[in-house]
Amino acid sequence: MRINPIDGLLFLSMRLLKSIDRRQTDLKYFDPDKVKNILVVSSTAIGDTLLSTPAIRAVRERYPHAKIIAHFNIKNMELFENNPYVDGIIPYYGRYKNFFRTIGKLRKYKFDLALIFHGNEPQATPMAYLSGARFIVKLPNTSEYRFLLSNKNQVLRWEDFSHGVEQRLRVTEMAGCKISDKRMTLPLSGEGDAIVDKFLKENSIGESNILIGFQVGASTVSRMWFADRFVELGKRLVDSNTKIRIIITGSPQEYNYCKGIADDIGEKAIVSAGKIPLKYIPSVVRRFKTLVTGDTGIMHMAIAVGTPVVALFAVADAKKSGPYYDLGKHVVIQKERTCEPCEGKACEYQKCMEHISVDEVYDTMKTRIQNGTSSKIQ
């Protein structure tokens, strides 16, 4: 049952517009040689957009002379402004905010093709259609707006893909792309190193220190490890090696939560949340010896810049959304869900994360820190 009347009105409008649309939009009519302008959509969270970057690269390789415009979330698009494979970005503001204004901007490009890698519904598919794009490809294609898609005939679900990257790459293959590289793209900002150097110096961190990152927040409570366990892990790490410093990352809104954990660890833990702009966070993460994190955008950021991660999974399936390449560099601690059905975003207490102990993470960290450094952890 529809709760938002705007959603219902949009659906009926799309049905009406599609019924009078005389264009041949099925993929059997698609001619790659006629493509000049392409819309690529990945308008959700940081990690989701990073998972879309191998697909965006594949689109550029197949269509080197096309104009490629990205539709990214306004909250994190600064991270992707220097992506070398797109020619411009039109922001997604969330839900129906600036809905018609955004469509007006999209229509100026007269798109031949729209590829939806990951987008919020019910806006993503209607916006791609209202952009004027003749061909629209999206997977999974199980939503109520499947009738707007050029690939509506063969139904594929999330379960049909081994990983989120594979799902996005399959979208590009349907548009004639060949896959040569499955790594994520996240170019570092030119001024990022100078800003990070200043931040570290202000916090008395030198080149001899070993930096360990803690990402203590997540998009949902269900994906968060417990604050007291991060505190215990941090204390054990800094007590084991005098060179170790803990940097706690997060959003500006998470500053107080992060600071509480840092204060409990002690003076060798500092907070970067709210202190460094989002576009420079990859430059911070690249300095880490290891990042300890749940299923988060910063986990994917670390993977993209080559930083090893110790990833803590329970409610999510690491095979679907965890590290996808350089698997020898990363460690995933995966536990089973406790509650069935899973509460998901409605979870108020992440019982399944209780199964990840401090001992297990610490033992993993000992190996991580020993590799590649003469400073041992005891």
- Residue 77 CB neighbours (<10 A): 20
pLDDT tens string 124-183? 999 999 999 999 999 999 999 999 999 999 999 999 999 999 999 999 999 999 999 999
CATH architecture of 192-370: 3-Layer(aba) Sandwich (3.40)
Q: What is the pLDDT of residue 190?
A: 86
pLDDT at 331: 95
Phi/psi for 289 (5° steps) reads -70, -40
| Average predicted confidence (pLDDT) for the chain | 94
Give the domain ranges of the chain. Answer: 5-174, 192-370
pTM: 0.94
Query: Given pLDDT bands bounded at 50, 70 and 90, which one contains residue 15?
Result: very high
Quote the pLDDT of residue 367. Answer: 82
Confidence of residue 366 (pLDDT cuts 50, 70, 90): confident
Q: Which CATH number fits domain 5-174: 3.10.20.740, 3.30.428.10, 3.40.50.2000, 3.40.50.2300?
A: 3.40.50.2000
Asked if residue 340 lies in contact with residue 318, where contact means CB atoms within 8 angstroms, the answer is no
| Cα four-point dihedral sign 41, 47, 48, 52 | positive
Domains 5-174 and 192-370 share a fold: yes
Region 82-93 average pLDDT: 97
**With pLDDT > 90 as the criterion, what percentage of the chain qualifies?**
91
pLDDT tens-digit map of 23-56: 999 999 999 999 999 999 999 999 999 999 999 9
